[in-house]
Amino acid sequence: MLGRGGHEVVTSLAGRSARTARLVAEAGVAVLPQLTDVLAQVELVLVVTPPGAALEAARAIAAAAASTGALPKACADRVNRCQGE
């Protein structure tokens, strides 16, 4: 849906299942090697996961952002506002 609306959609399949890889391929989503690569490229992170996996996903995103300093634009804007920049 997002891709059809003109938005580039990317993901990483690191640690993901074969089913997820198949669904991503069927949807025509671009695949990047690691979550850090995704964060370096995107302006918005949309996580589609079962509720029970949401905290783990949030932790993985936070760790990837912290390890690289790469933040999606919307997050960076919010962090900068909070820091008074």
Q: In this predicted model, what pLDDT tens digit does every residue of 14-65 receive, in sequence order?
A: 988 999 999 999 989 999 999 999 988 887 888 888 899 888 888 888 888 8
Q: How far apart are CA 65 and CA 38, in angstroms?
A: 10
Cα dihedral 74/29/37/54 (nearest 10): 60
Residue with tokens 């993985």, as numbered in its chain = 60
Residue spans per domain, the chain: 10-82
DSSP label at residue 4: T
pTM over 0.85: no
